[in-house]
Amino acid sequence: MQYWLAEHADTIFYGMFIALAAAEILLRGVLKVRKTNVLLEYVDSGFVAVILALVIRTLLIQTFFIPSGSMENALLIQDKLIVNKFIYGTRVPFTDRTLLAVREPRRGDIMVFQYPRDPKKKYIKRCMGLPGDVLAMKDKVFYVNGQPLNEPYASWRDSRNLAPPHPRDNFGPITVPDGHYFMLGDNRDESADSRFWGFLPRKLIEGKAWVIYWPITRWRAVK
């Protein structure tokens, strides 16, 4: 249920906005209800609250619920996060444009994004390849531009070493195209990531994982 709510939050907010806007038009324009009417006051208050929530969610932050173990041990199943949306730029609604970016994604950033094969779904992975990088994986060791990368956050739970054409443990070299990124889960043996579905377009990035806020015992900044 929590994952469904997180995945459909935008639809819920916009539905509430449309419903409250329609109620405003009906009460004020059609029924000519006075400003002192209690029902109108509730509708006004709800309308303002939804607008503020939409602005905050669109421009600043949003919440995200971890549904799987693909980012263990950094993020655990059922962790709840605050996602920083403005760091990579605010997306203009209903377009692919972003404005006022603080910085571009960096290697190691844990990012929330729309799944390229189904943008209605939201994924969270670690950014491991930047535009122009040459990447490879050999016997589970990840290489960037010919050098093995030290990855203290990564974990492996399957001792098998799967040979090509299976891309889990061995692939490349491949070059990350302009405007794209290569995403990996920290739980390397149990993550559906760029090894299987390809590069992530910049336009699908939603924000950077910022803080774990629940459960309270795991409150911390995400690294």
Residues annotated catalytic, as ranges: 70, 125
Distance CA 181, CA 201 (A): 7
Distance CA 90, CA 54 (A): 13
202: left (phi over 0), alpha (psi -120 to 50) or beta: alpha
Is 29 strand, coil or helix? Answer: helix
Please count the CA atoms within 13 angstroms of the CA of 137 that sit on its side-chain side: 23
Distance CA 80, CA 214 (A): 5
CA 157 to chain centre: 25
